[in-house]
Structure 1
């Protein structure tokens, strides 16, 4: 017979730190704690389970107490409540709202103490889901705020942290057939840009037209990185001329644009000429800004897709891991191009005088036209 406590009434669920309707993991935590309170030797069935794996603070405090205190003698435990009272006293240091009623209710709730390992697995699986969601939300926040001196590096660092979490979880859960999640993924968010962002794309087109030699080194920038489709198409026109070894100036770019069908009633030849006729700074400078925006947008999309996986309770831990890894891989190509774009410049050449010639790379343009001036020119 299990030891009985003085308070037989089950605890009020409102005291158990819940802010949402109880999920399956809530009942798994109750069942596991009931098993451990009833048969403390079942602690060996929990493996490396930690208090941080629990979703409920009170439950985590009780598990900490159970794992910290020496287990009682089974015969003595069947006769009195001394060990249970010690567990309660220890747990109340972190969860003062606990009382004997909670422990009694947990013992009564446990269906089968011998199933402690199964309850443990459910707790670990839900913790994996919450952990992935936390890292994905952090990635989305970093990519959205784009704060700090190097937001791209911050986003990639968080993506690496998410990858390490996936690697760690992969070693904890056994693979099984049907490992791809069937969760419908959110559609790609349409990228909206401020006028300043569009002006940066215009500056790139103009500086690339004025400095076609620099464009040869910018294979890391692709049309898909642009926000405005017209700008993406004009970039393809410029790069096509450069790669063919053709002569590049506003007029030849206009001719290439005509062959690409860019001249319409809404986009006149004068409009296209204007877009490639106001250079400022270097193409690399504007190209890196455009690529950084594209990288952050992709990081946000990756985070939203992983969050969608974690929000679907039908996904098993292995499905979450497999699906998240595939989504995270979508960032790899952009990461490679970003690293290529921001790699240190080649060593400077030496002048006859012995002084090294500086090779500024992607420097901020000192004479960048104001947005007002650009609009006035257009």
Structure 2
């Protein structure tokens, strides 16, 4: 395929997956190794809890569903086990994505999709919800121009729950001059409410990469939140109020170039002086993946922090490339990695290590290996054009 195609998305929902179908017929219980009744046959076990309450029920359900889908001829992706696919010819394909009992089907083979639905109907009590409009709190709008995903209703529900539906909006998710500490101010009297609200904000980042860094900061204080931390959460919500329906637009830009932007904020955390890595990945100019994460160790130099972020996005780029190749979604060209740090780019192309760089030798070797194999190409960009900057620090409204 020469470009990313826009195919219709279909949604299915399996009702009472454990109560209907033949899932329970395929589950057998054996006597535990510590207790074996010799010479006894025909023994049965009395379950005090139904399958829903058993720890192994998700694995049993997915195993059954996977078996049924593969009977139809779909293959399970090795890169992402929740994705199934089949290619009926060089141009025809069907993709199925599953989350527990919610299913999304897409592809350009309408006949095969109809047959797949009938196959699922014959094994499970399944409801066809038609064109995908709402999935796991994510609103989907499809048109000839492209697909827009957002969480407008989800955001409005959070604002209503906190009483901020009529608040005055602000233009930044976090005050750039504020440094949150672990034990500053008075403890917040309702930690569970804080944890619940931050958890909802984490889910909101599925379609709002602009709040990823701020949410990552406030999520560090889940165990013992203070008043200042709660005020920071309210600050994020007032920013969300500015554009509740903001989301992501996906449309065909006539190319399938994979490009990534990565950045690092050296020693940005005032508590433990760890750096924050951030990256975002585009396919054909459409944002598909991003992350804002504090690094696991303290970086001894800004170059080390930058190289750790390069290693992180390189892993993500290689995974995306493997997934696209497996699904035959598009022809994967040489991927581009944009950085605003000249020192990191020079080290990537310099095969000689010395005392100043040997402590980051592993990450250097990993990134350079992909550069030498021509799978990846690095390019320098100006700091003002660094899209991953929003994932590593607090920015003002104009920069956002």
Judge same fold: TM > 0.5, yes or no.
no
Q: TM-score range, shorter-chain basis? A: under 0.3
Higher RCO, 1 or 2 (CA under 8 Å, sep at least 6)? Answer: 1
TM, length-normalised to structure 1: 0.23
TM, length-normalised to structure 2: 0.22
